[in-house]
């Protein structure tokens, strides 16, 4: 299974208004500034609210600092919660960041 897992089996509609998905942090350096900035740029493209949860903490995905304060190391389980009228598109875009072809250690900002 890749870093994002199977989108259908790991995705859940929790209350009819929110989608959740659990993935793992794939980067050797953890969820550092480069992937945090990519996540923030992606999340800002959508009207839906995107939250990330790890280790009992939550972060608004549009905030680079908030995402970095999760202190999520490589292989940390990360729950993604998306709520809004474009939640499916937002979730897929955020998951693409975690895909093997998403952000790499050497990719430019």
Positions marked catalytic? 32
Decide if 78 contacts 35 (C-beta within 8 A). Answer: no
44 closest CA partner among 23, 63, 17: 63
Give CA–CA dist 86/96, Å, rounded.
16
The two beta strands, 18-24 and 77-83, are antiparallel
DSSP state of 105: T
Cα angle vertex 96, ends 67, 24, to 5°?
Answer: 55
């Amino acid at each position: 299974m890749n870093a994002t897992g199977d989108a259908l089996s790991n995705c859940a509609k929790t209350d009819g208004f929110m989608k959740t998905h659990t993935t793992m942090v794939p980067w050797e350096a953890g969820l550092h500034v480069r992937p945090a900035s990519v996540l923030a740029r992606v999340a800002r493209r959508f009207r839906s609210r995107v939250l990330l949860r790890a280790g009992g903490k939550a972060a608004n995905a549009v905030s680079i600092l908030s995402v970095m304060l999760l202190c999520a190391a490589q292989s940390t389980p990360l729950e993604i919660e998306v709520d809004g009228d474009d939640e499916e598109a937002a979730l897929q875009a955020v998951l693409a960041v975690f895909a093997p072809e998403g952000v790499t250690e050497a990719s430019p900002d």
